[in-house]
Amino acid sequence: GDMVVVQRAGDVIPQIVKVIKEKRPSGSEPYQFPRKCPVCGSDAVREINEKTGKIDVVRRCTGGLICPAQQKEKLKHFVSRRALDIEGLGEKQIAAFYREGRIKQPADIFTLAVRDGVDFPPLAKQEGWGELSAKNLFAAIDARRAPDLERLIFALGIRHVGENTAMLLARTYETFAGFEKAAIAIAAGDAEARENLLSVDGIGETVVGSIAAFFANERNRQALDDLLKEIEPKPYVREIAANSEVAGKTVVFTGSLTKMSRAEAKAMAERLGAKVAGSVSKKTDIVVAGPGAGSKLKKAQELGLMVLDEDGWLDLAGRG
């Protein structure tokens, strides 16, 4: 019931400038935003914006895979080209199957054939389908029962986990079981598991918070358990240069690099089978310190870690 002053911001966006409190009706009470999703009952949270450090205005449902208000779009994302890429199962088919009730969660995709003609009328007899097209769809689904790890992580639709982040997570944990175990530990408040993930170069608090919220939801985990009964994700395979002396090592780059960019250095390390971390810990093996290295170099020295300058790193990386 408040009276507010609104101005035009930018081209068309209305911006609330202030509340005229003297015109506020008597007996007014502050509006309480819902802390639970009104559709599925999952926690609704406001995230911290990494760029501004402030809490976002928007409150979002953490229901993910199980929220009816999000399910259809999550399923479209799950089968999309950059996720599981199931041929013949696009947005149109997902919308139709969801409307019929044939598919409500990812696991239902992989049980579609065994339920065909049992729980629902045969797909081949539905409008727009025939024996061959139905057979081809079931075959295309079966062809995705062993998805690449990074594609599966991306397909889950965890907020802030895009393709690049999914690849980082796959490289870090190497198996889905490893990723899931760490994610559940983080969701349960395991400080070490959280710190380990935050040490990965390119992973920040926002991503960790999203992963924790997703795996803290028991119904998300149940939907995931159902899915894992139907598929067997491939482990992430590192392409390691022969005779690499840094394979399996954890490397941290700090300070300036003069002979290559940070991105080139990271790519080289990963090509040689090393893991690149963003922070120094007792699990770090090598710290490459250039001019201007500060607290990371100091911590490495305190922990007695191997510290190399850029030339030393290039020498070590070039051996073999």
Residue 319, pLDDT score: 57
Residue 242, pLDDT score: 66
Query: Which has more pLDDT, 120 or 51?
Result: 120
Q: What is the pLDDT of residues 154-180, one digit of tens each?
A: 999 999 999 999 999 999 999 999 999
Q: Report whether pLDDT(139) > 90.
A: yes
With a pLDDT cut of 90, the percent of the chain lying above it is: 64
* CA 37/CA 42 separation, integer angstroms: 5
pTM score, two decimals? 0.76
Q: Report whether pLDDT(14) > 70.
A: yes
Q: Report whether pLDDT(91) > 90.
A: yes
For helices 191-198 and 176-187, angle between their N-to-C axes, nearest 10 degrees: 120
With a pLDDT cut of 70, the percent of the chain lying above it is: 98
Q: How confident is the model at residue 104 (pLDDT cuts 50, 70, 90)?
A: very high
Which of these, 184, 310, 319, 175, lies nearest to 254 by C-alpha position? 310
CATH superfamily of 149-228: 5' to 3' exonuclease, C-terminal subdomain (1.10.150.20)
Other CB atoms within a 10 A radius of the CB of residue 27 amount to 6
Q: Report whether pLDDT(231) > 80.
A: yes
150 near 170, Cβ under 8 Å?
Answer: yes
Residues 6+ apart with CB under 8 A from 33: 44, 59
Mean pLDDT of the chain: 91
Neighbouring C-alpha atoms within 13 Å toward the C-beta of 22? 0
Mean per-residue pLDDT for 218-238? 94
Tokens 């995230």 sit at which residue? 47
- Domain-wise residue ranges, the chain: 149-228, 250-318
Tokens 């310190």 sit at which residue? 289
DSSP-assigned beta bridge partners for residue 14: 8
C-alpha angle 236-139-157 in degrees, rounded to nearest 5: 45
Domain 250-318: assigned CATH number: 3.40.50.10190
Residue 68, pLDDT score: 86
Going from the C-alpha of 183 to that of each of 107, 158, 215, 254, 282, the distances in angstroms are 20, 12, 6, 27, 21
Q: Report whether pLDDT(320) > 70.
A: no
Q: How confident is the model at residue 244 (pLDDT cuts 50, 70, 90)?
A: confident
HEC secondary structure over the chain: CCCEEEEEECCCEEEEEEECHHHCCCCCCCCCCCCECCCCCCEEECCECCCCCCECCCCEECCHHHCHHHHHHHHHHHHCCCCCCCCCCCHHHHHHHHHHCCCCCHHHHHCHHHHECCCECCHHHCCCCCHHHHHHHHHHHHCCCCCCHHHHHHHCCCCCCCHHHHHHHHHHHCCHHHHHHHHHHHHCCCHHHHHHHHCECCCCHHHHHHHHHHHHCHHHHHHHHHHHCCCCCCCCCCCCCCCCCCCCCEEEEECCCCCCCHHHHHHHHHHCCCEEECCCCCCCCEEEECCCCCHHHHHHHHHCCEEECHHHHHHHHHCC
Q: What is the pLDDT of residues 42-87, one digit of tens each?
A: 889 888 777 787 888 888 888 878 888 889 999 999 999 999 999 9
Residue 102, pLDDT score: 95
Mean per-residue pLDDT for 99-124? 95
Q: What is the pLDDT of residues 267-288, one digit of tens each?
A: 889 888 888 988 899 889 999 9
Residue 262, pLDDT score: 85
